[in-house]
Structure 1
Amino acid sequence: MRGIAGAPVSFGVFELTADQPLPEPEEILAPLRDLGYDGVDLGPVGWLGRGEELRRRLTTYGLALAGGWVDLPFTDDDAFAAALPMLDDALEVFVAAAEIDPARPPLPTLADSGDERRRANPGGAAPGLSLDEKGWDRLAANVATAARLVRDAGLEPTFHHHACTYVETPAEIDEFLARTDVGLTFDTGHLLIGGGDPLEGWRRWGGRINHLHLKDARTEVLDQVVREKAGMRAVWERRAFVELGAGDLDVEGFMDAVRDSGFDGWLVVEQDVVPSPSDSPGRVVEDQRANREALRRWLP
């Protein structure tokens, strides 16, 4: 395994909150270093800095860049073409970060942007929500284009199955893997939302998984959001994702399977949250301390 990384999203720093005042990167990098993490995910592109500033921050805190989120409208050819400069911009950041730890380069984490129909139906199980044959052809062709750009930059892509997108349910993950050559970012929390079982999914797709997002979740909250069609923001605001061992993920069984599989990618701990003014000071750091301690049996 390349190492265990923390994620800005666990501190409330991600695309959903990018229009709000965000903590300085040092406020997150320092605790991650002190808690024993090896790496960090990117957060919103540019938040960690660019070029020399980015390399200086990572070097100062002894952290490698594990990956980072880049969603693109893969099912809409015109919108996809218009969004490619965003991918080019992100790749400049990834390439700069890769220079400080070439043995453990970051994986640009591609994902589908979804649309209003999918965002209104988390879980993806309602009839008529999946792509038709032409839709899958379009998505696969655009993923191939994005993957080529990533590889031309000297990096290897990964693709994140994600709630409220067109690659969400186990059947959609199967279809995606059959139509592309891109590795899978396996996310335990999003697989639960999409109606899958993390342990079964790990065994089923293990040969294609090159990146791991480890989340524990309260399935009662996830199921309620799906029933209400409340959308992903409700998942985050209702704190469906909790510290490892506090939710319904079989952390021990799952991590045993990860260890036994010989997985050699990054493990990124994520506890996505939208911060609330009522949060106690220091809560997020203590949660990440608990997450790191929960993994010491497998990653001392």
Structure 2
Amino acid sequence: MNGTVAGAPVSFGVFELTPEGAETVSPDAMCEALQTTGYRGIDLGPIGFLGRGPELRARLARFELELAGGWVQLPFSDDDAFTASLPELHDALRVFADAAEAGPARLPLPTLADSGSAARAAAPGRGAAADPLTGAVADRLHRNVERAAAIVRAAGFEPTFHHHAGTFVESPDEIDAFLAHSDVGLTFDVGHLVLADGDPVEAVRRWGTRINHLHLKDVDRTRVTEILAAGGGMAEVWSGGAFVAFGRGDVDIDAVMAPFAAAGFEGWVVVEQDVLNGPDVAIDAFLRERTADQRVNRDALRRWL
């Protein structure tokens, strides 16, 4: 297996939904934590968090990290909103190009994702009931993903698509439909598949040849069940401790990784342990806890990577 292990800002509470006013781990402290625990890459996080241009390249070089990819969420099911959002895609691609100027061993993958809807975000794993994906909406989504993919490829990168709980591509059936209508590779996210009541091991058998990017999580299924039963949405999942360090949840990481190892998977393996810290977090203690978790996660993958 010729993969490269990366960490992610979301594992340190830094992503697009970090509460306004909450103290966050600095980019240098995060990069240092990943470097010292054995990671070789980092996901982008919010655009600009790691810097741009020379600042971005210098930070990555200083901590011996490469850019693995980055989240680009777009409203694929709405033609007008999608067109209006294209400047965001172009902005993200400029940041990927900034990082690529350093001549990395492995290029980052722009990670496309659907914006979903408010109804779906409030009912993760239950989207088909909360806000059904009709034929017309699905057609728009598939068509606009192809438009975005063409833009990404024209910029010199290969796109990947992230199925995500709370969006219009979350369940195994919706992922099947997406793959049938697109040639874009799949970002396989273990945790989000579990939220959508999917079986990660079966999913690898089902979609293995289409997977070009890995997002690995362990999941406390009991906690997920409690959150969803109480009517929680994605914010409650992220803040409620649903995603835990490897070996502390219910995902059989060995069974997930074995087929990729046997097939000689080549690409980024991004460890994500999504957390949403509150505004009153003690940031130094939070950083120590997150760093300890990432050390556990990295060590759990050493038999393969």
Q: TM above 0.5, one fold?
A: yes
Q: Verify: 1:217 aligned to 2:212, yes or no.
A: no
The two structures have a TM-score, normalised by structure 1, of 0.96
Equivalent runs, 1:188-267 vs 2, <5 Å: 188-267=190-269
Moved more, 124-133 or 182-191: 124-133
Within the candidate set 287, 295, 298, 1:292 is matched to 298
- 1:75 is displaced (CA, Å) by 0.5
Moved more, 201-210 or 268-277: 268-277
- Post-superposition CA distance 1:63-100 (Å, at most 9, x none): 01000001000001111111100111000001111222
- Could you tell me how far apart the structure 1 residues matched to 2:173 and 2:48 are? 34
Contact 2:224/2:237 (<8 A) preserved = yes
What amino acid is aligned across from residue 294 of structure 2 in structure 1?
Q
* 2:91 corresponds to: 89
Evaluate the alpha carbon distance shift between residue 165 and residue 125 of structure 1 in structure 2; reply closer, same or farther with a 3 A threshold. closer
Distance (Å, rounded) in 2 between the aligned partners of 1:183 and 1:228: 34
- Output the TM-score relative to the length of structure 2: 0.94
Contact (CA 8 Å) 1:183, 1:208: kept in 2 or not? yes
Structure 1 residue identity aligned to 2:291: V
Residue 31 (structure 2) aligns with: 29
Per the alignment, in what secondary structure is the counterpart of residue 43 of structure 1? coil
Summarize the Cα distance change of 1:2–1:97 in structure 2 as closer, same or farther, 3 Å threshold: farther
Q: Distance in 2 between matches of 1:248 and 1:99?
A: 40
Aligned-pair CA distance for 1:135: 1.1
Aligned residues with identical type, % of pairs = 56
Q: Aligned equivalents of 2:263 and 2:193: distance in 1? A: 19
Task: Indicate which of 257, 272, 289 corresponds to 1:283.
Answer: 289
8 Å CA contact retained: 1:122, 1:229: no
Provide the residue aligned with 1:48 in structure 2. Answer: 50
Could you tell me which amino acid in structure 2 is paired with residue 23 of structure 1?
Answer: V
Letter in 2 for 1:289: R
- CA distance, structure 1, for counterparts of residue 74 and residue 60 of structure 2: 27
Task: Using the TM superposition, name which of 43-52 and 226-235 deviates more.
Answer: 226-235
What is the Cα-based RMSD across aligned positions, in Å? 1.5
Q: Structure 2 counterpart of 1:284, which letter?
A: R
Distance across 1 between alignment mates of 2:128 and 2:142: 23
Q: Name 2:8's counterpart in structure 1.
A: 7
Amino acid at match of 1:13: V
Q: Which of residues 111, 114, 119 is equivalent to 2:113?
A: 111
Q: Which amino acid aligns with 2:297?
A: N
Q: Which amino acid is the alignment partner of residue 9 of structure 1?
A: V
CA distance in 2, matches of 1:247, 1:16: 24
Q: Is the alpha carbon distance of 1:125 and 1:52 closer, same or farther for their aligned partners in structure 2, counting shifts above 3 Å? A: closer
The alpha-carbon deviation at position 175 of structure 1 amounts to: 0.3
Mapped to 1, the partners of 2:103 and 2:232 lie a distance apart of 41
* Cα distance, 1:126 vs structure 2: 4.8
Query: Is the deviation greater in 34-43 or in 216-225?
Result: 216-225
What residue in structure 1 maps to residue 132 of structure 2?
A: 130
Paired amino acid for 1:283: E
What is the CA–CA distance in structure 2 between the aligned matches of 1:160 and 1:28, rounded to whole Å? 24
1:128 Cα shift?
6.2
Q: CA deviation at 1:287?
A: 0.6
- Bigger relative CO (Cα 8 Å, ≥ 6 apart): 2
Equivalent residues of 2:119, 2:130 under 8 A apart: no
Deviation at 1:226, TM superposition (A): 2.6
Inter-partner Cα distance in structure 1 for 2:180 and 2:228: 27
Distance 1:34 1:247 in 2: 24
Structure 1 runs not aligned, ≥5 long:
none
Secondary structure at 2:258's aligned position in 1? helix
